[in-house]
Amino acid sequence: MAVDPTKPRTVLVIHGVQTGDSADLNQHTLIKQLLDSRLGNMPLRFTTDLFRYEDLNDQVQGKYQKLVKLIVANPVGQALASKAIDLIGDVVTARLDTSTAAKIRQGFKEKILEIFDAGNPCYVVAHSLGSIYAFDVINDLMTEKDLFDRQSRRTWPVQGLITLGSPIGLSMFNRGRKKVQSLGEGDKMFRWVNYWDRTDPIVSGKMFGQNLTGYEIAEKYRSPSPQQGWVIRDRPVDTGKVWLLAHVAYWDNPMVGDGLFDMVTN
Amino acid sequence: MDGPGHGKRREPMTLFLLILMFLLTTMPAHSADTLKHQAAAALKEFFQVTGPVAEFHGRYEDTPPEYGATCRVRLDFSEPGQEYFTISGEYTPSTSIGDGIYFDAPDDTFVTVNFEGDTLILEQRLRDTFSTGTHTYMRLHQQPGIIKVTIRETSRLLFFSSTQVKHCVISME
């Protein structure tokens, strides 16, 4: 198994919080449109794919949905509350030490290895809660024998990671995740770029989505050790939206598109 | 009214207010710092560990099956400033140390340390913002041949919250 750099790149998207079920998900087509719009006339062979797990999450959230139906008698209020549970509830209720979470991680890992087996260079774009799954799976893959040899990117099942609106800066996620997996000796660097909107409340945990500055999210994982082998950057973006709308507005942001373009072409 | 005599009478009052202000601002910080040290000392005493790391394997009881059947309690004091006391299970991701008490958090996150006889209670509140954070309550109870570690953890994000309760029973025989 080795990555063949002449093969088309695959941008694998793992979604996060959103409304609806698996059938409603189309973030990979949004990412394709975004990357196409940044390529101009440059020839680049690439495909996009999506790892879906929302149906598994919905099973877990069923009890919360029922509770809301009991509490909110007004049909309009019920619809709003139900959507809000879908959007934010995933983050809070997603206990990451459960069998459901383990199934999601395993499924995502298998999807990455399937792309790796086919020889396509794979880049992961992870949104919201999906960024936590991506963090866990990629770090786990780095511990496996024969993968992520720092001297050869052909052994890397994932060439780079882009996270969008990640809640990894919140204590509920980062207090137990203290560091990234070191790659050891070598000169190749694994790239992780984290994009966040300053008013995105799922990034900051701020109720009213107040503007944030000087906030370290992914960069908390940077280490001065040359053995770490990661390049980690936080990039604030202005999606032009506020509060929860900002959280779902990364998909067509030009800065995100340029970052993705830069990652898949270098 | 503001003659020299009045100024002199005011001096002891000013001094008193300054001392009071100093005490009020430093006392909570001091007591929080004490709680953190008490928590560390109490944990070591409870498990009677002398080394930097202790690990105990147990089984979940009265715990939702989605967390699995087995659990692991780990007490790690090997890295100063990075100590922790956590519970993890068979589905805990390899990147996570688990849920529990983290000593790299600020002193004032430690809100309860209560060690009486065979029961130790620890509480830690990590706050990201006023509406977002994690509250961890841990109860360690020693019975003949076993230790029962209960963790109740509430995570809050904006206007949502979720609580999980797990009981890890460790055999000491």
Residues in chain A with CB shorter than 8 Å from the CB of B133 are 171-172, 205
Q: What does B7-65 look like in DSSP terms, one character per residue?
A: HHHHHHHHHHHHHHHHHHHHHHHHHHHHHHHHHHHHHHHHHT--SSEEEEEEEE-SS-G
Cα–Cα distance between A160 and A230 in angstroms, integer?
Answer: 10
pLDDT, one tens digit for every residue, chain A (266 residues): 799 999 999 999 998 865 555 556 788 999 999 999 998 888 899 999 999 886 665 555 555 555 455 544 555 555 555 555 556 666 776 788 999 899 999 999 999 999 999 999 999 999 999 999 999 999 999 999 999 999 999 999 999 999 999 999 999 999 999 999 999 999 999 999 999 999 898 898 887 767 777 778 999 999 999 999 999 999 999 999 887 788 888 999 999 999 999 999 98
Pick from A11-20, A117-126, B10-19, B34-43: least confident: B10-19
Which among B91, B93, B131 is the nearest to A205, CB-wise?
B131
Q: Among A67-76, B22-31, B98-107, which range has the highest average pLDDT?
A: B98-107
Residues in chain A with CB shorter than 8 Å from the CB of B81 are none
Q: Is B125 exposed, middle or buried (0-12, 13-18, 19+ CB in 10 A)?
A: middle
Q: Which residue of B has its CA nearest to A175?
A: B102
> Could A95 and B164 be called an inter-chain contact, meaning their C-beta atoms sit closer than 8 Å?
yes
Chain B: closest CA distance from residue A8 (Å) = 30
Cα–Cα distance between A247 and A21 in angstroms, integer?
Answer: 18
Task: Please answer whether residues B110 and B103 qualify as being in contact, where contact means their C-beta atoms are separated by less than 8 angstroms.
Answer: no
Chain A: closest CA distance from residue B131 (Å) = 6
Please give the backbone phi and psi of residue A229, each rounded to the nearest 5 degrees, phi first.
Answer: 75, 20
pLDDT score of B2 more than 50 = no
pTM of the predicted protein model: 0.87
> For chain A, what's the residue count?
266
The structure tokens 């959507």 sit at: A83
Backbone angle region of B43, left / alpha / beta, with phi > 0 → left and psi within -120 to 50 → alpha: alpha
Cα–Cα distance between A239 and A246 in angstroms, integer?
Answer: 6
Q: Is B159 exposed, middle or buried (0-12, 13-18, 19+ CB in 10 A)?
A: exposed
pLDDT per residue over B138-159, tens digit each?
999 999 999 999 999 999 988 7
Pick from B24-33, B43-52, B59-68, B73-82: least confident: B24-33
> Could B67 and A97 be called an inter-chain contact, meaning their C-beta atoms sit closer than 8 Å?
yes
